[in-house]
């Protein structure tokens, strides 16, 4: 099945009304394109839960900082649509233009989730999550999905969006989907394509570090944020071509760093490493016993 490509937000809203009239449940997979197996696993999960899968493809300018890769971010709509056609599960690709999503030259309406963006990617990418929550709230308003699916590789993004949807009164169920990995554990990312072979070989330290942290939390062998942070850093520092951006343990509800662990607490051990042009992230989620 070749998905129908819709560019205009008005047309998307008309299609939404048709879905409602026909009593069809809708799942949204928001993406910035450059689709890989990780995105296809979100589509697969959506197709298992809803009648109509809508994949949005939009490189959202407001979530990129001034020195980030907005201009060079990979864009190939035709290839993305072909991949989805081959997979055969998505009914609609919503690929709006910048002026479709931002109708005024200067955007004045923002959706901001306070405090949850203070650490991890929020502190190294100021303004990033304000762009993400603003665009996703617009997509939810246009598509009105019953459920939306996000990769847990961006755990901070997922927990911020979940909070945003609940507090804004969107009826959409927000679903976090397990990260898809390469043979050696490296999380799939559209930015992996920027890596040289030597950097690619070293990039395995991210997944190794977060898996070690998960084990240390779940077995109780380390019981403090500082201890897990040291463990993460010592693994990441093995990559001589990478520069560690952050290595941190936060509570999944508050997204604030944790000092002492409490039984039943859900923790995210998260890392970011810059390899040349590629900034890679990874995390693991663990329950304190």
Active site residues: 39
Q: Could you tell me which stretch among 28-36, 65-73, 114-122, 265-273 binds ligand PAF (CB under 6 A)? A: 28-36
User: Contact letters (x/-) for ligand PAF, 141-180, by CB under 6 A?
Assistant: -------------x--x-----------------------
* By CB under 6 A, residue 282 contacts ligand PAF: no
Tokens at residue 273, please? 């490493």
Helix, strand, coil % (nearest 5) of the chain?
Answer: 40, 20, 35
Cα–Cα distance measured from residue 62 to residue 215, given in angstroms and rounded to the nearest whole number? 37
- If residue 130 lies in a helix (H) or strand (E), which one and from where to where? helix 128-143
Name which of 137 and 248 has its Cβ closer to ligand PAF. 137
Of 3-11, 84-92, 129-137, 230-238, the window that binds ligand PAF (rule: CB under 6 A) is 129-137
Q: Which is nearer to ligand PAF, 16 or 56 (CB)?
A: 56
Binding of residue 132 to ligand PAF (CB under 6 A): yes
Residue 189 or 229 having the CB closest to ligand PAF: 189
- Range in contact with ligand PAF (rule: CB under 6 A) among 26-34, 116-124, 211-219, 227-235: 26-34
Q: How far is CA 200 from CA 65, 154, 219, 275, in A?
A: 24, 20, 30, 9
Q: Do 116 and 255 contact (CB within 8 A), yes or no?
A: yes
Indicate the burial class of 257 (C-beta count within 10 angstroms; 0-12, 13-18, 19 or more).
middle
**Interface with ligand PAF in residues 29-88 (CB under 6 A):** 30-32, 60, 63
Using alpha carbons only, what angle is made at residue 46 by residues 44 and 47, rounded to the nearest 5 degrees?
65
Binding footprint of ligand PAF on the chain (CB under 6 A) = 30-32, 60, 63, 132, 135-136, 154, 157
């Amino acid at each position: 099945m070749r998905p129908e490509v819709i560019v205009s937000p008005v047309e998307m809203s008309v299609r939404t009304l048709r879905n409602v009239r026909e009593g069809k449940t809708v799942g949204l997979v928001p993406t910035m394109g450059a689709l890989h197996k990780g995105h296809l696993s979100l589509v697969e999960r959506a197709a298992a839960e809803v009648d109509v899968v809508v994949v949005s493809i939009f490189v959202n300018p407001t979530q990129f900082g001034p020195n980030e890769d907005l201009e060079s971010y990979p864009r190939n709509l035709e290839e993305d649509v072909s991949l989805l056609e081959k997979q055969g599960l998505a009914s609609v690709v919503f690929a709006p233009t910048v002026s479709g999503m931002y109708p005024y030259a200067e955007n004045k309406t923002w959706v901001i989730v306070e405090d949850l963006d203070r650490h991890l990617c929020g502190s190294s990418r100021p303004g990033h999550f304000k762009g993400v929550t603003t665009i996703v709230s617009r997509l939810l308003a246009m598509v009105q999905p019953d459920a939306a699916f996000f990769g847990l590789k961006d755990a901070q993004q997922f927990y911020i969006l979940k909070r945003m949807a609940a507090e804004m009164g969107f009826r959409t169920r927000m679903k976090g989907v397990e990260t898809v990995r390469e043979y050696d554990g490296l999380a799939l990312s559209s930015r992996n394509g920027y890596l040289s072979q030597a950097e690619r070989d070293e990039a395995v330290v991210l997944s190794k570090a977060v898996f070690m942290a998960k084990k240390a939390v779940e077995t109780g062998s380390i019981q403090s944020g500082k201890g897990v942070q040291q463990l993460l850093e010592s693994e990441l520092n093995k990559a001589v071509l990478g520069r560690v951006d952050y290595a941190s343990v936060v509570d999944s509800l508050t997204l604030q760093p944790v000092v002492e662990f409490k039984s039943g607490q859900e923790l995210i051990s998260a890392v970011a490493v810059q390899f040349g042009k590629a900034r890679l992230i990874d995390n693991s989620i663990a329950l304190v016993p």
